[in-house]
Amino acid sequence: MNTDTFSPAEELQRKSRTRKLVTYLIVFAIVMFFAGLTSAYVVSMSSGYWVDITLPEAFYVSTGAIVLSSVFIQLALMAVRSGNTGRIAPLLVATLLLGGVFTWSQFKGWGELVSKGQFTVGRMVQATGEYGTDYTILFQGEPLVLENGSYYLASDQLRSKPLNADIDEQKNTASSYLYVLTAAHLAHLAFGLLSLLIMVVMAVQGRYTRDDHSGLWAGTLYWHFLGGLWIYLLLFLLSVH
């Protein structure tokens, strides 16, 4: 059986098409996964009581880092397409470092949430954090008023019916979903960081050329997708909080 059916150029094209198809399938699967999570998040908001959480400032640092990292990895892709292969490795290293900044700021953001009483699984009434600034408890979309340690509906002007007994039975599902969404994104980003590390090694070895850089293209697309996904999640969290 003749195994030399395809020329080297045709083999390169087949490899590139396969790499692109696999990358698109991975992206599609992740999109469906997060669509399910955000849909569940929205559904859970209709249960009655809800905690409106102020997002930590570290999340905005994350946004800046991942947007800037996308610029560097795109420059790396442009460099290989122009034949300037010497610039690829430094640009990928810069992308990797910014990915590290993103990871650090995510953990810092979680630390801010915990310091203000927002735990992965906890009661709705927070032990720390300033009410109205760090968090607000809603009932059917209406912010509750906190006076002298008791929670009331804003429409209860006489403050005749405190809601503490009901609130004490509620779980803070809002913070649980917030951790799940951001942690799931970080888990997918960890795969991206590993891919970046491999790409740096391959770039140092001179494995990427103008005609053969499908791996760099796939890594760039995946990293851009992670950046876009984070921006979507941040906007989503801002809209529901």
Give me the mean pLDDT over the 38-52 stretch: 83
Beta strands in the chain (DSSP E): 49-53, 135-139, 142-147, 150-153
Q: HSE, CB side, 13 Å, CA atoms: give it for residue 106.
A: 24
- Residue position matching structure tokens 């470092």: 97
Q: Which of 52, 31, 80 is nearest to 214 (CA)?
A: 80
Position 185 scores a pLDDT of 96
Is residue 227 assigned to a domain? yes
With both helix axes pointing from N to C terminus, report the angle between 8-44 and 173-204 in degrees, rounded to the nearest 10. 170
Domain-embedded: residue 233: yes
- Say whether 208 sits in a helix, a strand or coil: coil
Is 37 a member of any domain? no
142 close to 153: Cβ distance less than 8 angstroms: yes
Residue 1 is predicted with a pLDDT of: 43
Share of the chain above pLDDT 90, in %: 51
> According to the model, what pLDDT value does residue 127 have?
62
Round the average pLDDT of the chain to a whole number and report it. Answer: 88
The SS3 assignment for 2 reads coil
Average pLDDT over residues 137-160: 87
66-103, pLDDT tens digit by residue?
999 999 999 999 999 998 989 999 999 999 999 999 99
Range in 18-22, 26-30, 45-49, 139-143 with the lowest mean pLDDT:
45-49
Q: Is 71 in contact with 98 (CB distance < 8 Å)?
A: no
Q: What is the pLDDT of residues 222-239, one digit of tens each?
A: 999 999 999 999 999 998
At residue 11, the pLDDT reads: 67
Span 47-69, average pLDDT: 91
Give Cβ neighbours of residue 113 (< 8 Å, ≥ 6 apart): 53, 56, 119, 175, 178, 179
pLDDT-based confidence at residue 8 (cuts at 50, 70, 90): low
Residue 11 belongs to a domain = no
Domains held by the chain: number = 1
50 or 216: which carries more pLDDT confidence? 216
37, 48, 29: which is closest to 232 by C-alpha? 37
Given this model, what pLDDT does residue 12 score? 64
Q: Confirm whether 6 is domain-assigned.
A: no
Q: Does some domain include residue 41? A: no
Q: Per residue, what are the HEC states of 76-143? A: HHHHHHCCCHHHHHHHHHHHHHHHHHHHHHHHHHHHHHHHCCCCCCCECCCCCCCECCCEEEEECCEE
What CA–CA distance (Å, rounded) separates 24 from 26? 5
* pLDDT, greater one: 167 or 27: 27
Give the span between the Cα atoms of 156 and 227, in whole angstroms.
Answer: 44
- The answer, yes or no, to whether residue 35 has pLDDT greater than 50, is yes
CATH of the domain at 228: 1.20.120.80
pLDDT of residue 88: 95
**CB-facing half-sphere around the CA of 20: CA atoms within 13 A:** 9
User: What pLDDT score does 2 carry?
Assistant: 47
pLDDT in tens, 108-133: 999 998 888 777 666 777 767 788 88
Q: According to the model, what pLDDT value does residue 232 have? A: 96
Backbone angles phi, psi at 147, to 5 degrees: -135, 125
Q: Which domain holds residue 51?
A: 47-240
Give me the phi and psi of 116, to 5 degrees please.
-105, 15
Residue 42 counted as domain residue: no
Residue 19 lies in a domain: no
pLDDT mean over 54-59: 93
Residue-wise pLDDT tens digits, 173-218: 888 889 999 999 999 999 999 999 999 999 999 989 888 888 999 9
Say whether 15 sits in a helix, a strand or coil: helix
